Amino acid sequence: MHDFCAQDESNCLPNEQNSKGGETHAERIRKALETEIASGRIEPGKRLDEQEIALQFGVSRTPVREAFRMLAASSFVDLRGRQGAMVRSIAGHTLVEMFQVMAELEGLCARLAARRIKPEQMARIDAIHKRLEAACDPQGVDAFYDINQEFHEAVYEASCNAFLAAQTRGLRNQVAAYRRRVTRMPTRLDATLSEHSAVIEAIRAHDAERAHSAMRNHVNLLGDDLLDFLAAYG
């Protein structure tokens, strides 16, 4: 059904692992499944069969089980006793809670970025924003989504707080499968652009408080749209 060939380096936790070539199967499977789940290609609520996944990756159940345990600790899957693993499905009220936390964390990123950003980072953010404007096309929402991600990642980096960046990134990944649906809302694209502009100008002015509230506002508005979407389309 799926082919888990896609591999990326999106380590969301400060789980650096050994950078040397020797990567374990368990780790490789964890990354692949995390990508599949965050992208929504494996839907929330779907049960993950150990044997089936072991076959798909061409390994035994052991490394698959270890990957499941890691994903469970990162809240990407739920382990229910002896009933197997299923992709975590997040209830609406929990999404509200998560966005409230994410708004605060992203806000902190922006606040720190406003105080600490270096010229080359500022230039990079400007460049990303230009690309995002160019990609503001309802046809290419996937490209828009990716560039948007780049923008936030650039702010994380400019915060000069690696732990905060990792924590925020992890949270972002957890809700990624739900976020992606909202990007398709037509009003979201334009709203995102203007909200980003507010954040960027505040950071450029080194106005920490304004950057904080602008980013918090941005995330909260996204959360509101997401809830509207869920309320309408379930």
Partner DNA sequence: CAATGCTACGATGTATACAAATATTCGAAG
Partner DNA sequence: CTTCGAATATTTGTATACATCGTAGCATTG
Query: Footprint of a copy of itself on this chain (CB under 8 A)?
Result: 13-18, 20, 22, 24, 26, 62, 65-67, 69-75, 78-83, 94, 97-98, 100-101, 104-105, 108, 161-164, 167, 171
Q: What is the CA radius of gyration of the chain?
A: 19
Closest Cα partner for 227 from 104, 106, 91? 91
201 lines the binding site for DNA (CB under 7 A): no
15 lines the binding site for DNA (CB under 7 A): no
171 in Cβ contact with 178 (< 8 Å): no
The item of a copy of itself, DNA, none sharing an interface with residue 7, based on CB under 5 to 8 Å by kind, is none
78 lines the binding site for DNA (CB under 7 A): no
DSSP tag of 20? S
The item of DNA, a copy of itself, none sharing an interface with residue 25, based on CB under 5 to 8 Å by kind, is DNA
SS3 87: strand
Compare residues 10 and 60 and give the one whose CB is closer to DNA. 60
Q: How far is the CB of 140 from a copy of itself (least distance, A)?
A: 32
Tokens describing residue 14: 């400060």
SS3 226: helix
- Secondary element (H or E) of residue 85: strand 85-87
Residues of the shown chain interacting with DNA in the complex, contacts defined by CB under 7 A: 20, 22, 24-26, 48-51, 58-63, 65-66, 79, 81-85
